Amino acid sequence: MLVVAALGGNALLKRGEPLTAENQRRNVREAAVALARIVRAGHRLVVTHGNGPQVGLLALQGAAYKPEEAYPLDVLGAETGGMIGYIIEQELENALDHDRAVATLLTQIVVDPDDLAFRDPAKFIGPVYSRDEAEARAKAVGWTIAQDGDKWRRVVPSPAPQEIPDMRVIRMLLEQDVIVICGGGGGIPVLRRADGSLIGIEAVIDKDAASALLARELEADALLLLTDVDGVYRDFGTDRQARIDSLTPGEAFKLNLPAGSMGPKMLAAARFAAYGGLAGIGRLDEATDILEGRAGTRVIPDATDEGGSGRG
């Protein structure tokens, strides 16, 4: 099977941990062991990952130095994709005893300049602040901010991914039996100009949406959205909560899940499964169990489901 495994933020940083290089490498080392099990089970593998905390930190560092010279988000996305990809690549090579080739590809993803997300920024990046501190920072450097729980954070546009220009390179690597790390942070957001050329734009693409598009374009057999919880729950937080073992894309589309939590993951899973692949959401260390139906929440294609059209 060809498996696209999307690593959530916990693969790099546990909740509440400081964003240090040592913490990130230790967490990636643990993630690499789980990813290596997928490969050892005989599957081909493509890895994607998030970058929210990292891109937010780089933006802060740039603003603290010379705000008028700060790099745009597309460039910061490329920087974090290279940094995180390097750590994953190295630790995965180590976990596989260097008997498989692994490569990191900085991945451009085309977005629509008329996407409504540019008018209504909603993607959280960077650390949390008190309201007063967030408002002070927003005024100083021109941020848009929004409430995140009982704290406040910077929000940026998160347009939907439309096209992956680097698909040809990804396919070439897979044909050579290379494990590919790509689409880091949801990919680098770019616009396609009238003459066909590409140019970066200030945005951050949702990693799960980009991973679903990637998996669909590759005609992957499975998409795993790996996080630090064991699946998706009905009535979460109540005494009636229960993990959903499996559902069809149509059933998944009807769920009402939090936009800042499982909502984007379930939507991405449903969209991929609607094209004929298996989508799973669950714990990183249970990745192979999710593939084999022993763990997580699985969105399984149904030929009679109106939400799907079948692969191809």
Residues belonging to the active site: 9-10, 123, 207, 265
b/e sequence 66-75, b meaning 16+ C-beta within 10 Å: eeeebeebbe
Q: Name the CA radius of gyration of the chain, rounded.
A: 19
Show the tokens assigned to 16: 């509440």
Q: Is 37 left (phi over 0), alpha (psi -120 to 50) or beta?
A: alpha
Handedness of CA 100, 178, 281, 294 (dihedral sign): negative
Cα–Cα distances in Å, from 230 out to 39, 40, 82, 141, 150?
21, 22, 29, 39, 25
Pick from 216, 272, 280: nearest CA to 249: 272
> Side chain identity at 48, as an amino acid letter?
T
Instruction: Please report where in the chains the tokens 């700060």 appear, as a residue.
Output: 70
For residues 260 and 248, give the distance between their C-alpha atoms in angstroms, rounded to a whole number: 22
